Amino acid sequence: MTDLRRFIRDVPDFPRKGILFKDITPLLLDPVALQAAIEQLAARVQVPEAVVAIESRGFIFGAGLALHWHVPLVPARKFGKLPGKTVKEVYSLEYGEDTLELHADSLKREQRVVVVDDLLATGGTAVATARLAEQLGARVAAMLFLVELTGLGGRTRLAQYPVESLLQYEVAES
Ligand code: AMP
């Protein structure tokens, strides 16, 4: 099995001092590794009825999974980017807050969805995305991440959902 860890680059002090950024772009440069990542992610959960992918790196893995499973891809976007009628969720960041949106007609009631992002840190973004899907009556069957930073409480915050990640890295709580 391809060792995906080799394709994640640590970038210290990005985008701010004290943050160790997990850069996935080396993985994107290697089509064999990227395909392996999609296949390994897909193997973790049952085939859903739609993929909800989180802006913006979640779109990469979400698109790969939606094509792999041949199911619809639904982008969860930052406020103001979607042109149609939307539902919204406000969530907290380290400093301040942000808003994510889904098109109101993008999911059906009772549809089984998987939420996808590149990385799980505190879980705030993923919880907001799950709530968006639930606002539309969809059911979040699982949350899928390439990378999980453990020690930031993400898994606890997502305790009500099955959470799967391919690569775990320990991060001290700051
Ligand atoms: P959170 O809401 O705290 O779980 O943050 C997750 C979101 O922030 C994901 O969309 C990640 O892409 C991004 N993110 C947070 N921390 C990092 C990090 N250390 N390296 C790369 N991306 C990160």
**Domain segments of the chain as ranges:** 46-170
The pLDDT tens digits for 110-120 are 999 999 999 99
pLDDT of 93 reads: 86
Q: For 28, which DSSP code?
A: H
Residue 54 CA: nearest ligand 1 atom is 10
Is domain 46-170 annotated with CATH 3.60.21.10?
no
Q: So what's the pLDDT on residue 15?
A: 94
Ligand 1 within 6 A of 62 CB? no
Our answer to whether residue 49 is catalytic in this structure is no
Please state, in angstroms and as integers, the Cα–Cα distance from residue 92 to each residue in 10, 22, 95, 122, following that order. 25, 21, 8, 10
Protein residue closest via CA to atom 16 of ligand 1:
121
In the prediction, which pLDDT does 164 show? Answer: 98
Ligand 1 atom nearest to CA at 124? 2
In terms of Cβ atoms closer than 10 Å to its own Cβ (0-12, 13-18, 19+), residue 46 is: exposed
CA distance 55 to 117: 8
170 is catalytic: no
Per-residue model confidence (pLDDT) at position 172: 62
pLDDT recorded at residue 161: 98
Low-confidence residues of the chain, pLDDT below 50?
174
